[in-house]
Amino acid sequence: MIFSITVLLAAITCLSTTVALPQKQHTPEGASCSKPLVRREWRQLSDDQKDNYINAVQCLREKPPQSASYFKGVKNRYDDFVAGHINETDFIHFVGFFQVWHRVFVHEYETALGECGYKGGQPYWDWTLDATIEGFPKSPIFDAEHGFGGNGPFVDTIRDPSVRLHIPGKTGGGCVTTGPFANISDFVHMGPLNSTAYNPRCLRRDFSPWLASKKLRKSVVDLTLSKSHFATFDIAVQGMIDVPGLTYHGGGHLSVGGDIGMMGDVYNSPSDPIFFLHHANLDRLWALWQAKDAGKRTYDIAGPIQPFAPPFDFHGPVTSEKVTLDYNMWMGHFVKAAPGVYN
């Protein structure tokens, strides 16, 4: 499905909020926001609320898919989102609408959780609270009983030719052994990379607490939020493609995914349910940035339409038009459009 950025910003900005917003929420003109869902940080949820969320994720893995006719690897409703991200990855990163696309993606996932009886908003993970070498593996997000489980056993990948970017300080790489997704040989159905063929295997994680301590600390967030225009804010969010140039988007993925964990696979990263808490936090930070000057920033957009065009021209010259609010953005087959919101 195709949606204009103007309509999406007006609709999605008002559909959910977070308890962390310090200012009164700005509702764009023409948008109705009578009962927005509240998104809370994972550790603000009770154990019962955490369990309800995990159960809803498990439920999505049991519900029938809606995109199986397009992608052979799709076997359940959760896979709709994995395949949608894989299929669009080459078009939605290092572009001006990166944050808009992922805002809608998380919102659609949040809506799908409601199909499984989940009543709350999509939780987020404030990784600044865990951004030390000692604290990262102990984050409540990785709790075995009321979280997503922890790291995998160490796998030496120094000579693995499939690893495109070696992450310093990696500590895992094997199948997750604790938590609700442990020891499931067919938890992941697609990938690696851009393959949507059926390829069942376990969920892998490859923690790098060192990377988390460098890229997810509060000073990195504060510097990003200090930017005065979306163009510079977005560059600071997306970062670059080498380890020194990573910022909190890539840093969150690769602190969990390392060399060979699913979160480190730019295409297949939604195979790890932590993806959605990470991106909910990115969306929260964008909302905080917007709220600093909502009248100007709600509809501030900038950047290229074509990936890796300036200012993201890491691979050489690429020409591209600039994204505008009139740009129509393809969202994929996982979307169930809400009448009166997107149409």
Binned at pLDDT 50, 70 and 90, residue 242 comes out as very high
Cα–Cα dist 250/132, whole Å: 17
> In this structure, are residues 281 and 255 in contact, taking their beta carbons and an 8 Å threshold?
no
| Within-domain flag for 343 | no
Amino acid occupying residue 187: F
Number of domains the chain contains: 1
- Using only C-alpha atoms, the chain has a radius of gyration, in whole angstroms, of 19
Residue 25: per-residue pLDDT: 44
Residue 6: per-residue pLDDT: 63
Mean pLDDT computed over 241-258: 98
Cα–Cα dist 228/165, whole Å: 31
| Within-domain flag for 159 | yes
Binned at pLDDT 50, 70 and 90, residue 332 comes out as confident
Residue 35: per-residue pLDDT: 79
| Within-domain flag for 341 | no
> In this structure, are residues 71 and 81 in contact, taking their beta carbons and an 8 Å threshold?
no
| Within-domain flag for 335 | no
Q: Tokens in use for 260?
A: 């060979």
Residue 23: per-residue pLDDT: 36
Whether residue 214 is predicted with pLDDT greater than 50 in this model: the reply is yes
Q: Tokens in use for 7?
A: 């309509």
- CATH number of domain containing 102: 1.10.1280.10
Residue 32: per-residue pLDDT: 60
Residues 1-31 have pLDDT tens digits of 565 676 566 555 555 555 433 334 445 555 5
| Within-domain flag for 243 | yes
Mean pLDDT computed over 279-285: 98
Residue 340: per-residue pLDDT: 34
Whether residue 49 is predicted with pLDDT greater than 50 in this model: the reply is yes
Residue 341: per-residue pLDDT: 35
Phi, psi angles (nearest 5°) of residue 41:
-70, 145
| Within-domain flag for 336 | no
Q: Residue 41's beta-bridge partner residues?
A: 124
Helix then strand then coil, in percent of the chain rounded to 5, is: 40, 5, 55
| Within-domain flag for 300 | yes
Residue whose tokens read 């007006």: 10
Strand positions, DSSP E, the chain: 2-4, 16-18, 37-39, 328-330
Whether residue 299 is predicted with pLDDT greater than 60 in this model: the reply is yes
Whether residue 123 is predicted with pLDDT greater than 60 in this model: the reply is yes
Binned at pLDDT 50, 70 and 90, residue 331 comes out as confident
Residue 77 domain boundaries: 2-330
pTM for this model (two decimals): 0.92
Mean pLDDT computed over 217-234: 98
Give the H or E element holding residue 88.
helix 77-92
207 versus 19: which is more confidently predicted? 207
Cα–Cα dist 167/211, whole Å: 8
8 versus 282: which is more confidently predicted? 282
> In this structure, are residues 282 and 249 in contact, taking their beta carbons and an 8 Å threshold?
yes
- Closest-CA residue to 283 (of 89, 57, 123): 123
